Amino acid sequence: MSIRDVRVPESLITALQNAQSVAGLTGSGVSAESGVPTFREAQTGLWTRFDPEQLATPEAFARDPHLVWEWYAWRRKHIDKAAPNRGHEALAELERRVPSFALVTQNVDGLHWHAGSRNVIELHGNIGRSKCSREGVIVEPRQDDTGVPPLCPHCGAFLRPDVVWFGEALPVDALAEAFEAARGCDLFLSAGTSGLVQPAASLPIEALRSGAVIVEVNPDETPLTRYASYVLRGRAGEMLPGLVNAAYG
Ligand code: OAD
């Protein structure tokens, strides 16, 4: 499908052109076209016998840090090979066009940064970073540390990926910024997320309460669909460039 074939209602084009402040929320669907498997789809090969929800927890890491580190190393290998797609690029372009723009993401792959987005709020952390499992500070593993997991160069505790695990709190500042962006925007664009995981799923509802136009981009129906003012039913790599092109092309 060419981006010119994406049907965008005139009233949505006008709403976007007039918006002073836009907030975006992305989920793993936006990276699917970059070849990054979604959280649950990611289980192939050796890893099929593990439930990701059982691996992405502090309890799993305490029980078997080697296994959990290996799993993340394997996921990171996929991500390192991935490049941003046209959906990521359209969001970066939107940021350049709109007076105020914030992009809240649940993705840990860093592809929005690579696409050129600047005001990115990472709610679930970033798989490319490591932190000390004892003190929580972000650290670079030592080059010569081949441990699985490597050790904190300061205190000797295991390092862990800087991502939010099930049962853990989200980063306080990122969460506050995300809610502020949702409450302050004229238009809220939710793309590639199932809208099932809290508290991210509350952001569009918060924006709606504050009077924003809600736009959803997803090939499938989600719990957000019934609240959305506009639904672009399709893949982010087609719908997002189609939307940006319709408003600014
Ligand atoms: P999900 O796997 O829950 O949902 C992915 C969504 O993307 C679904 O609604 C799909 O229909 C949609 N989708 C698939 N392909 C798409 C495409 N090409 N374009 C647009 N949409 C597409 O992923 P998330 O909503 O990101 O948390 O899940 C949220 C969080 O749950 C993740 O960050 C992760 C997971 O548990 C943690 O790891 C803490």
- DSSP string of 144-168, one letter each residue: T---SS-B-TTT-PBEEEEEPPTTS
- Which sequence spans correspond to the domains of the chain? 3-36+84-124+164-248, 40-81+130-163
Ligand 1: lining residues by beta carbon, under 6 Å: 27-29, 32-33, 38-40, 56, 106, 124, 164, 192-194, 196-197, 217-220, 222, 235-236
Distance 25 CA to ligand 1 centre (A): 11
Task: Annotate 51-83 with DSSP letters as a single string.
Answer: -HHHHSSHHHHHH-HHHHHHHHHHHHHHHHH--
Residue 139 host element (H or E): strand 138-139
144-157 CB burial, b ≥16 within 10 A, e <16: eeeeebbbbeeeee
Strand 138-139 and strand 187-191: the pairing is unpaired
CA separation for the pair 129, 92 (Å, rounded): 22
5 pLDDT tier (thresholds 50, 70, 90) = confident
What pLDDT, on a 0 to 100 scale, did the predictor assign at position 45? 57
| Most ligand 1 atoms within 8 A of CB, residue of 36, 39, 215 to mutate | 39
Closest protein CA for atom 18 of ligand 1? 235
The owner of tokens 């004229």 is: 186
Same-fold call for 3-36+84-124+164-248 versus 40-81+130-163: no
Distance 42 CA to ligand 1 centre (A): 12
Cis amide linkage into residue 149, ω under 30° from 0: yes
CA separation for the pair 213, 196 (Å, rounded): 20
Please report, as a single letter, which amino acid is at residue 58.
P
Q: Which CATH class is domain 3-36+84-124+164-248?
A: alpha beta
Distance 195 CA to ligand 1 centre (A): 8
What pLDDT, on a 0 to 100 scale, did the predictor assign at position 97? 98
What pLDDT, on a 0 to 100 scale, did the predictor assign at position 47? 62
| Most ligand 1 atoms within 8 A of CB, residue of 194, 202, 224 to mutate | 194
What pLDDT, on a 0 to 100 scale, did the predictor assign at position 41? 64
Closest protein CA for atom 31 of ligand 1? 197
Distance 146 CA to ligand 1 centre (A): 32
CA separation for the pair 79, 148 (Å, rounded): 19
**Number of helices (H), then strands (E), in the chain:** 10, 9
Tell whether the model's pLDDT for residue 238 goes beyond 80: yes
CA separation for the pair 169, 236 (Å, rounded): 28
Q: What is the mean pLDDT of the chain?
A: 93
- Phi, psi dihedral angles at 74 (to 5 degrees): -70, -40
What pLDDT, on a 0 to 100 scale, did the predictor assign at position 8? 96
Q: Could you read off the pLDDT of 198-213 as tens digits, one per residue?
A: 999 999 999 999 999 9
| Most ligand 1 atoms within 8 A of CB, residue of 112, 218, 224, 225 to mutate | 218
1 pLDDT tier (thresholds 50, 70, 90) = confident
Cα torsion angle, 196, 112, 205, 226, sign: negative
Q: Could you read off the pLDDT of 38-87 as tens digits, one per residue?
A: 766 655 555 667 787 788 899 999 999 999 999 899 889 889 999 999 99
Residue 171 has which token pair? 């980063």
Q: Which residues are catalytic?
A: 124
CA 146 to chain centre: 29
Mean per-residue pLDDT for 218-225?
Answer: 96
Reported residue count of the chain is 249
What pLDDT, on a 0 to 100 scale, did the predictor assign at position 163? 96
Distance 33 CA to ligand 1 centre (A): 12
Of 243, 131, 110, 128, the C-alpha closest to 189 is: 243
Q: Could you read off the pLDDT of 119-159 as tens digits, one per residue?
A: 999 999 999 999 999 999 999 888 888 899 999 999 999 99
Q: Could you read off the pLDDT of 145-200 as tens digits, one per residue?
A: 889 999 999 999 999 999 999 999 999 999 999 999 999 999 999 999 999 889 99
Closest protein CA for atom 25 of ligand 1? 193
Q: Which CATH class is domain 40-81+130-163?
A: alpha beta
